[in-house]
Structure 1
Amino acid sequence: MDARFLGITELTETPSVAVVIDVMRAYTVAAWAFAQGAEKIVLAESLDEALALKARHPDWVALKDGPPAPGFDAVNSPAVLRSADLTGRTVVQKTTAGTVGALAVKDASLVLCASFVVAEATARLLRTGGCDSVTFVVTGEDGRADEDLACAQYIARRVTEPGTDAAEFLRRAGGSRAAAELAEGVRQGAHPDDVALCLELDRFPFAMAAAREDSLMVLRPRAVPAPTGGARV
């Protein structure tokens, strides 16, 4: 598989297959939302759009980066979301990097959104789908965020080498600037457990695929068949 690793601003053409990576925290949060029962996640282009969608659909759950704000129901924290009952709900998500990255490749034939918690399911989907060329969108720090790059490189490696050990990739993510800022409380709207939750490998057995639905970019979980022999996802 030919893998490219690009920042959002480096995307000069629409890739055929894109995997958008945001470890800390957009696509760890999204996975937790699905685990808590959410039906779908609408990726908003702006805070104003998120609030407008919430106004039109009061039963939707709106979340954003940073501290709590009027009109939003939650912050972009996996630790906060893990106690929420989202059964059958629609979540509207707007973040600094993750949602921006997905919207930047919205015309790709396949858009997956990923983090470590869905790494193996994502790799397996790419592997079974026979994807010859994949662009990994490294969303943080203009493509230089080591937690996102490490996760992207790990998933890419797992596609062709399923036995790849995650230890070094997780170590890099744990030593990243984003992890330090979350741990030190530099980033608002964070929970002390966020870093640990973002570094949980293969917590969930599904991948996450985004596609246009009417005028919106919508993320949904995608089941990935387990390999024969009962191996753990």
Structure 2
Amino acid sequence: MTPRFVGIPEVTEVPSVAVVIDVMRAFTVAAWAFARGAERIVLASSESEALELKERHSGWLALKDGAPAAGFDAVNSPGLITSAALAGRTVVQKTTAGTVGALAVANAPLVLCASFVVASATARFLRAEGAGPVTFVVTGEDGRADEDLACAEYIGQRVALGDVEAAPYLHRARASRAAADLADGLRRGYQGVHPDDVELCLELDRFSFAMVARREEAMTVLRPVEVSGD
């Protein structure tokens, strides 16, 4: 596998295999939503679309970035979703970077969404699929977010080499601008930020499933796929 690392603005053609990375916080939140029992996550292109989908489908929940807002049931914080009751529910997710990146490559034959909490499972899935050239979509900061790039590089190395020392990659994520922004938001008392968010985003391989996005009924739908160990 020869990986390619791009930001969202650089997605100009449909890749054969895409892995969309958002560590802080969209795809850490998505993984926790599945761990809390969510059946599927529908990726929305806008907050208005998220609310429209929720309104049209009884029992669906809507999740967004930032502070709580009318109509939304949750915010994009792993610390705030770890206790959510989501068993059997469909969650509609709209975030600033992660969902945008996934929708940018939604027509690719294989799309996975990932963060550190599902990193090794994602690598195992790619190896099992015998995936060809992989395009990693680094969603934060137009492809410059070091927490996302570190995670993408770690997964790429896990695919290529198997066992890889994770500490340097996690250190980069901990020292990233996104981690600092979350800490600053916590100090300032911003809503939608939890004290455990950064640590939860850095919890390597917390889950043993990969997250695969496919087109279903004109929607881009994310589902967990259990992956056996090495």
For the aligned pair, the TM-score class normalised by the smaller chain equals over 0.9
Measure the CA separation in 2 of the matches of 1:50 and 1:163. Answer: 39
Partner of 1:230: none
Measure the CA separation in 2 of the matches of 1:189 and 1:85. Answer: 18
Q: What does the per-residue CA deviation read over 1:171-205, in whole Å, with 9 as the maximum and x for residues that have no partner?
A: 00000000001011166511110000000000000
Pair 1:195-2:217 in alignment: no
Measure the CA separation in 2 of the matches of 1:196 and 1:2. Answer: 30
Measure the CA separation in 2 of the matches of 1:169 and 1:161. Answer: 15
Measure the CA separation in 1 of the matches of 2:172 and 2:141. Answer: 15
Measure the CA separation in 1 of the matches of 2:91 and 2:51. Answer: 12
Q: Alignment partner of 2:127: what SS?
A: helix
Q: What does the per-residue CA deviation read over 1:36-88, in whole Å, with 9 as the maximum and x for residues that have no partner?
A: 00000000010000010111124111110000000000100001100011000
Pair 1:153-2:150 in alignment: no
Q: What does the per-residue CA deviation read over 1:131-171, in whole Å, with 9 as the maximum and x for residues that have no partner?
A: 12000000000000000000000000000111110000000
Question: How is 1:124-135 mapped onto 2 (pairs within 5 angstroms)?
Answer: 124-135=124-135
Measure the CA separation in 1 of the matches of 2:29 and 2:93. Answer: 9
**Unmatched runs of 5 consecutive residues or more in structure 2:** none
Q: Alignment partner of 2:3: what SS?
A: strand
The letter for the 2-side match of 1:14 is V
Measure the CA separation in 1 of the matches of 2:51 and 2:42. Answer: 12
Following TM superposition, where does structure 1 have runs of at least 4 consecutive aligned residues deviating by more than 2 angstroms? none
Measure the CA separation in 1 of the matches of 2:73 and 2:90. Answer: 12
Question: How is 1:1-233 mapped onto 2 (pairs within 5 angstroms)?
Answer: 1-185=1-185, 188-227=191-230
More moved, 123-132 vs 13-22: 123-132
Measure the CA separation in 2 of the matches of 1:166 and 1:225. Answer: 20
Judge conservation of contact 2:66–2:191 (CA < 8 Å) in 1. yes
User: How many percent of aligned residue pairs carry the same amino acid?
Assistant: 70
TM-score, normalised by the number of residues in structure 1: 0.96
Judge conservation of contact 2:36–2:85 (CA < 8 Å) in 1. yes
Measure the CA separation in 2 of the matches of 1:213 and 1:222. Answer: 16
Measure the CA separation in 2 of the matches of 1:188 and 1:163. Answer: 39
Measure the CA separation in 2 of the matches of 1:42 and 1:130. Answer: 27
TM-aligned CA distance change 1:188 to 1:142, over 3 Å: farther
